[in-house]
Amino acid sequence: MAREPATGKKRILAVADEVEASLFTAEVLKVRPDLVVACGDLPFDYLEFIVTMVNVPLLYVPGNHDPELAPALSKPLVPAAFEDDRPAGPEGCTNVDGRIEDAAGLRVAGLGGCLQYNNGPNQYTEGQMTRRALRLEARCRARTLRDGKGIDILVTHAPPLGVGDDPDDDAHRGFRAFHRLVQRLSPHLLIHGHVHPHGQHGNDRAMADTMVINAISSRVIEVQR
């Protein structure tokens, strides 16, 4: 059974894009996270290893090098004719792409994928991501109206446009749609991957009261709740 974290400070292990060798061993136990978030483009067996070892929730979004994943089913059983043969994602982990999850005392929303640059999976035009972001915003607002709790963490694969992206590379430009989402939801953290800092941690950036963090290859983040 996963341990319940104490109230107060929460320890988050964020991973993205590059396998960190030490986390693929028993060394990962030394991190002692309350929650793991994965920002895409990581092997499923790596995520499955981490979630098995640390025994806490692992929430993820897909990246542009991940396969197109089957959507979560609203019913446990569906007729064979409607079964989806796309992969379900890493076992024991929860896909938060376009969804909201409460875990470790934190509310997490997610949007996977990157700006469209070829015909690969999990790629979106700015217009498509704007529609996805608006749907997620509506879901978040409805959840907050029910219980008064806002979004703590927004997990994305790509960064916001102009905030840690690469404006000179079509494949690594961020999304303008994330600016409205951050403005309307005011998450404490936006954690992303996709833009490789070449062996170094990317610089953290601020969007109003939201800290934008590049998780490649891993970051340990402590938040007070």
Q: What was the pLDDT predicted at 202?
A: 57
- Among residues 12, 1, 220, the alpha carbon closest in space to that of 108 is found at 12
Q: Predicted confidence band at 76 (pLDDT cuts at 50, 70, 90)?
A: very low
pTM for the structure as a whole = 0.90
Q: In what order do the strands lie in the sheet with 9-16?
A: 94-95, 58-60, 35-38, 9-16, 217-224
Give Cα 121 to chain centroid, integer Å. 17
Query: Is 9 a residue whose pLDDT tops 60?
Result: yes
- Among residues 14, 207, 196, 197, the alpha carbon closest in space to that of 110 is found at 14
State which amino acid sits at residue 164. Answer: G
Instruction: Identify whether the C-beta of residue 32 lies closer than 8 Å to the C-beta of residue 9.
Output: no
Q: Sketch out the chain's domains with CATH numbers.
A: 9-72+85-224 (3.60.21.10)
Q: What was the pLDDT predicted at 197?
A: 79
Q: What was the pLDDT predicted at 5?
A: 43
Render 72-131 in DSSP notation, one character per residue: PPSSS---GGG---S---STT-EE-BT-EEEETTEEEEEE--EE-SSS-SSEE-HHHHHH
Q: What was the pLDDT predicted at 203?
A: 77
For range 54-66, the mean pLDDT: 97
Instruction: Identify whether the C-beta of residue 117 lies closer than 8 Å to the C-beta of residue 171.
Output: yes
**Residue percentage of the chain with pLDDT more than 90:** 81
Q: Which single residue is written with the structure tokens 């290859």?
A: 217
